[in-house]
């Protein structure tokens, strides 16, 4: 029954928040041992190996859609999956998670431009609130001189922009292919695109067991399993309540960064993170005049169907 939210749904919510919130920590651990260029390749390969297990993910693409999926492979994965590890060379995992919490806000702005429709005053205020929070995080962290630099923050902003554009490019594909198939094909395409510089990175720095473990968690768990589990959660809890865990991911990332990596945070940055979360929650609410729900995590509302897909995903062809 869609809309139910009991112990099972809370468990899945916590799991999604933990998997996506920990991704910044796994990136930080990985780049301690490998070149940044290895991360997108390994992340996509591990993610594809998990997703290909699901029957619903193995749908063939129509020839006329290959160009669109090539663009998605670049914008959704190949570029941002490289920008994050490069940025985390100079930005702590905690600050990265905080800034990533602004993804719903960037997506709201890009979507409004994409569909050429002026959002409501409520949503405009929500976006402004969220961007004020991002500014607070960025300025306070750079001023501290220990948690981030301007270049790294700019790279993270570019990654968020790539995700936001990709969300709009991908939207027409989900009614056609469902939810898991586009994700699998994007990881496959991005794996191919990331292969040349990934090999160069491996040749330069090699890879250790710590990096393999971190990259496995980042790709197989944070990309493959998390995506499927989130789809099941949406199918059971509905779109609005199903996304509750998303708002906890910056908090998870911050706690892990401080506890595991010893990240130093200015109290002002923590306040900024809370402001970003408030803005993200506001922007995810229905438009007052239309009842439209904006899904802030680059996953379409058609994911409500993914529960059935996952349920039959391991069946043989």
- Supply the DSSP string of the chain, one letter for each residue: -TT--SHHHHHHHHHHHHHHHTHHHHHHHHTTTS-TTHHHHHHHHHHHHHHTTSGGGGPPPPGGGHHHHHHHIIIIIIHHHHHHHHHTTTS-HHHHHHHHTTHHHHHHHHHHHHHT-PPPHHHHHHHHHHHHHHHHHHHHHHHHTSS--HHHHHHHHHHHHHHHHHHHHHTTHHHHH-SHHHHHHHHHHHHHHHHHHHHHHHHHH---HHHHHHHHIIIIIIIIIHHHHHHHHHHHH-HHHHTGGGGGHHHHHHHHHHHHH-----HHHHHHHHHHHHHHHHHHSPPTTT------SS--GGGGGHHHHHHTTTS--
pLDDT at 34: 94
What's the pTM?
Answer: 0.85
pLDDT at 145: 58
pLDDT at 28: 96
In the chain (317 residues long), the average pLDDT of successive 10-residue segments reads 70 90 96 95 95 90 94 95 96 92 88 87 88 90 74 94 91 83 93 96 90 96 87 72 80 92 88 91 67 43 44 41
């Amino acid at each position: 029954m869609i809309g139910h939210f009991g112990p099972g749904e809370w468990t899945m919510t916590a799991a999604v928040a933990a998997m996506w919130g920990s991704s910044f920590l796994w990136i930080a651990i990985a780049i301690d041992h490998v070149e940044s260029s290895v991360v997108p390749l390994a992340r996509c390969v591990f993610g594809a190996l998990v997703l290909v297990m699901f029957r619903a993910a193995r749908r063939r693409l129509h020839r006329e859609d290959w160009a669109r999926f090539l663009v998605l492979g670049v914008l959704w994965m190949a570029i941002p999956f490289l920008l994050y590890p490069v940025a985390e060379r100079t930005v702590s995992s905690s600050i990265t998670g905080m800034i990533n919490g602004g993804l719903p806000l960037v997506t709201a702005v890009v979507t409004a431009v994409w569909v050429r429709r002026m959002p409501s005053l409520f949503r405009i205020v929500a976006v402004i609130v969220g961007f004020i929070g991002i500014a607070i995080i960025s300025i306070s962290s750079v001023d501290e001189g220990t948690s981030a630099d301007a270049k790294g923050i700019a790279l993270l902003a570019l990654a968020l922009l790539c995700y936001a554009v990709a969300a709009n490019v991908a939207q027409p594909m989900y009614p056609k292919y469902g939810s898991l198939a586009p994700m699998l094909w994007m990881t496959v395409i991005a794996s191919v695109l990331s292969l040349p510089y990934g090999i160069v990175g491996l040749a330069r720095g090699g890879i250790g067991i710590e990096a393999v473990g971190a990259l496995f968690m980042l790709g197989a768990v944070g990309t493959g399993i998390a995506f499927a589990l989130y789809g099941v959660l949406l199918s059971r809890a509905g779109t609005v309540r199903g996304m509750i865990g998303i708002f906890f991911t910056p908090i998870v990332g911050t706690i892990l960064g401080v506890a595991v990596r010893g990240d130093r945070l200015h109290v002002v940055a923590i306040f900024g993170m809370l402001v970003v979360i408030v803005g993200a929650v506001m922007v995810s609410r229905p438009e007052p005049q239309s009842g439209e729900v904006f899904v802030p995590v680059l996953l379409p509302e058609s994911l409500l169907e993914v529960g059935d897909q996952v349920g039959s995903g391991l069946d043989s062809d």
